[in-house]
Structure 1
Amino acid sequence: MVAFEHPHPHGALAPTAHLELPFFDDAHRALANGLVAWTHEQKVGESDDRAACKEWVQRLGAAGWLRYCVPEAHGGALPALDSRALVILRETLAYHSPLADFAFAMQGLGSGAITLAGTPAQQARYLSAVATGEKIAAFALSEPEAGSDVAAMATQAVQTGSGWALNGCKTWISNGDLADFYVVFAKTDPGAGARGISAFIVDAGTPGLDSSAHIQVMAPHPLATLAFNNCAVGTDALLGPVNGGFKLAMRTLDIFRASVAAAALGMARRAFAEAVTHAKTRKMFGQTLGDFQLTQAKLGEMSALIDAAALLTYRAAWQRDCSATQGAGTPAYTAAAASAKLTATENAQRVIDMALQMFGGRGVQVGQTIEHLYRDIRSLRIYEGASEVQLLILGKNALK
């Protein structure tokens, strides 16, 4: 499959009217319009997800879009990571191709911890290469028995005379066996729970790292299990302070959580655009599908669900940018990002399901845009903090 085909000329471009909302400024609107025009020109074959991801990274890097994943000091487009820019980029890319969004997002998430806590040497070595697409990044946190419960991770890093030795297993790792480097989280004090986790930068090809076990999922994108068997890294591989890895992981995820909501929003907007076009053109019983009140009511519900998700998503991104001097992890922002991620992903699932129902049999035909979206959206309710985790964050925040 080629990145979503655009069978209808007026449905070819992602909508940008919502960017007139006061959360954004003129620079954000210019970014959005430029990206919409660029995506319209991109045709990438996606039957091989790994080859497609490599191609998307190369294209996004060559066009300068990956520069929004790193700060200006290291080849980035802006002085610091800007949540609203990330939201615009992910929403627009997901509208065009969820795989393009994935390729972009992993460059940011995979290098985010280096932006936050890397030494000048680490930042110089990795961030500029991420911004150009020369290096593909990955974030290795999850384990077979440690997903939402990060503190339960079993991978360990033991100090040696020349650095550290890593042993254990990471799984569900996006860009696994594709990345040029991994930010890996491991226990350096096994008895200390979350307070005993440290972060390390591990280059692909390091002896003792096996990333060959690929994972196949319903919406194909590069995933793998990483096995560490006395994987030796130098002292310069430690990222941030010893035993500071849990906070670093949470800070990194916090920055990008609102952008996950934006990706869901982009998919929902695309499904809605496809549904509207279909309703206007599908002939039934001597009229169009859109002439039926039942169809109009469904479109109305989809529109309201999208607007609700958009407002929460943009608010969270705006809130983080406005409070950047206080740090990304302020309680107000954390709650806002949780609310956005929860609502946008759950609402997008409902919107896409309603759109598929409107297409009838064609909606489940393999290769159709709606069928692809139906598979693509499902994982967003799980990764980077499942919906249930977001509910817990919001519930605990309410009790405070």
Structure 2
Amino acid sequence: MRGPARFAEVVEDWSRQGGPFDPALLTAHDEAESFPAEACAALDQWGLADHYVPVPYGGRLDRLDEMQALLRTVAARDLTTAVAHGKTFLGAASVWTSGDSDLGTRLAGHIMAGEAVAWGLTEPGGGSDLLAGELTATRTGSGWSLSGSKWPVNNATRGRLATVLARTDPAGGPRGFSVFLVDKRSTAPGTVRHLPKMPTHGIRGADISGVAFRDARVPAHALVGTEGEGLELVLKALQLTRTSCVALSLGAGDHALRLARRFLLERRLHGRRLVDLPHARAMAGQAVARLLLAEAVAYAAARAAHEVPEELSVVSAVTKALVPTLVQGQLRLVSELLGARGFLTEVESYGGFAKIERDHQIVSIFDGSTWVNRGGLAQQLRLLRPGRRPAGPAGRPVYEWLREDAGTAALDPSRLRMMTRGDTLLNGLADLVSRRSSEPDAATDTLAPRLLDAYRELAGPLSRVRPSAGPPSTEVMRLAERYEWCFAGAAALGVWAANPSRHGRTWWDGGDWLRGCLTLVLHGLGLPTPDASAAYDQLCERLLSGDGTDVSLFGSRAGVPV
């Protein structure tokens, strides 16, 4: 068995004293700012890299939600290791998106042999503006010549291979860039130079460095897709990587909640148990709600990648903007609970929390910051007003393809689109609310109908959004944020409606997790939530129970005892 549950057991075994995931070893790497080579080697040996390669190319990537679960397990132990190893999928995504079977087959062989792949998008001074890239690729008699720099890049030095976005038309523009898969070992000596590793606040051991090319010759078959297609390939690849890399946030949230649970059960304040203080219980319960809501959004997005990939330009932007934000808020709550113990090293193991918090801060900027992703969503809002149906043929209802045991269509990058014209999940919100209202305990639950009202109220503002050549206005960005909260609520309702067989199981019975998530959503929308304390108190009680060691909607994902 090689599924996520078995993998969690393997990683737990590696985490014993002397193992490649021994916390003392990982801490030493962090303090020395050295690469976690032992942990990455263990992941290679287990075959995690096979899950970065789609099945048609000989790999094991069949479902994005499974890859999310695997990366989440690693991140729950050490974010640096998860970032360093998982980067290969990000580096390869442009090739998978291109549909180039020959290049894809060659790349798959490298990845499954343990070769890391970097993704060279950003340049000094360019930030997230890909159109500002100045690294050039010029045709030569037998291929291309690359000149320029990419920085900062994860695995730029350690990675043998790098997919690089290069300017192939001096004028630039949307059709002026192409992607190249560069094998640095095959370039002439002196034409490729590694830029120094950059000191970073978080993920200190990761290879955050750069690479400079000086008339580096690459063969004609290094071109990914067609000339001038680079920007489109990158933007479509980002839809897949943004959907996947939120697993890093989920893992960070897993680790933080386990620390919080132990602290609440042990700590006494002014003669009382900390867990008996209402304020502490409310904070703990909201921390649980934030993680479970983030999980519901991430899970729905991974399923959408298979079921409605035409809508992933919106789904991935919402997911990457919201999930790290939810978890960062959760970490702030845990930080407040732990107090000084969260920052004093070697104090009852709680000092490790500081590493989780600072490591996670960088996750929000991977594959575009929250602001960048929200801006991408804002550009499509005018196409997403309530009631507008997607342009494609109607598919299965949301509550069918979000079932845990539902089969998924093969991942098909050719169906990805630059812009979508509908949102199947939110368009199904009315049906999901109706299903919720038919349940026995729903008579006292007004949260779902209030969410539906809030979503319908977006119709007017969304219809007034106009195309803009420049950055979206503050008003439109706030509208995009409200849309994200509505999407999150729909994801939670969809996951609940799709999995009635789980309603009597751990974390599901009584509907506490759904009530807590919808409470959080309505609060995010600025709506009054008078019963919030009760909802969060119930989640805190579950956290402190015997089931609280694994806060997840679908069972063990990380298996991190503290």
| TM-score (normalised: structure 2) | 0.62
Note if 1:391 corresponds to 2:391.
no
Instruction: Tell me, in whole angstroms, the C-alpha distance in 1 between the residues paired with 2:354 and 2:65.
Output: 29
Equivalent residues in 2 for 1:343-382, closer than 5 Å = 343-366=322-345, 368-382=351-365
**d(CA) in 2 for partners of 1:58, 1:74:** 23
Quote the offset at 1:54 in angstroms: 3.6
From the two aligned structures, give the one with the greater strand fraction.
1
| 1:153 corresponds to | 133
Partner of 1:209: 192
- How far is the alpha carbon of 1:278 from its aligned partner? 0.6
Indicate the residue corresponding to 2:225 in structure 1. Answer: 240
What's 1:12 paired with? none
Matches within 5 A, 1:75-224: 75-78=58-61, 80=62, 82-117=63-98, 119-133=100-114, 135-205=115-185, 206-207=187-188, 208-219=191-202, 220=204, 221-224=206-209
State the aligned residue count.
363
Partner Cα distance (1:241, 1:41) in 2:
46
SS in structure 2 opposite 1:191?
Answer: coil
Aligned AA for 1:210? R
Matched residue SS, 2:366: coil
Task: Note the residue ranges of structure 2 that are not aligned, 5 or more in a row.
Answer: 384-562
Distance change in 2, residues 1:143/1:100 (3 Å)? same
- Identify the residue that residue 338 of structure 1 maps to in structure 2: 317
Return the offset for 1:357: 2.1
Structure-2 separation of matches of 1:378 and 1:194: 31
**Distance in structure 1 (CA, Å) of the matches to 2:163 and 2:382:** 34
Instruction: Report if aligned partners of 2:84, 2:207 keep a CA contact under 8 Å in 1.
Output: no
CA RMSD of aligned residues (A): 2.0
Task: Summarize the alignment of residues 240-319 of structure 1 with structure 2, pairs less than 5 Å apart.
Answer: 240-319=225-304
Aligned letter for 2:267?
R
Identity of aligned residues (%): 24
Corresponding position of 1:9: none
- Post-superposition Cα deviations, 1:269-290, rounded to whole Å, max 9, x if no partner, equal 2211211111111122223221
Cα distance in structure 1, aligned partners of 2:100 and 2:38: 30
CA drift at 1:170: 0.7
Which of 12, 16, 34 is the matching residue for 2:6?
Answer: 34
Question: What's the CA shift string for 1:122-158, capped at 9, x where partnerless?
Answer: 333321231242x111111111132321111111111
**Secondary structure of the equivalent of 2:380?**
helix
Equivalent in 45, 52, 63 of residue 69 of structure 1: 52
C-alpha deviation, 1:231, in angstroms: 1.3
Stretch deviating more after TM superposition (284-293 or 237-246): 284-293
Matched-pair contact (CA < 8 Å) for 2:98–2:233 = yes
State the secondary structure of the residue aligned to 1:165: strand
Instruction: Give the whole-Å Cα distance in 2 for the aligned partners of 1:56 and 1:190.
Output: 43
For the residues of structure 1 that align with 2:102 and 2:377, how far apart are their CA atoms?
A: 38
- What is the SS of the residue equivalent to 2:199? coil
Instruction: Indicate if the aligned counterparts of 1:150 and 1:194 stay in contact, CA closer than 8 A.
Output: no
Higher gyration radius (CA): 2
Q: How does 1:7-18 map to 2 (within 5 A)?
A: none
* Matched residue SS, 1:41: helix
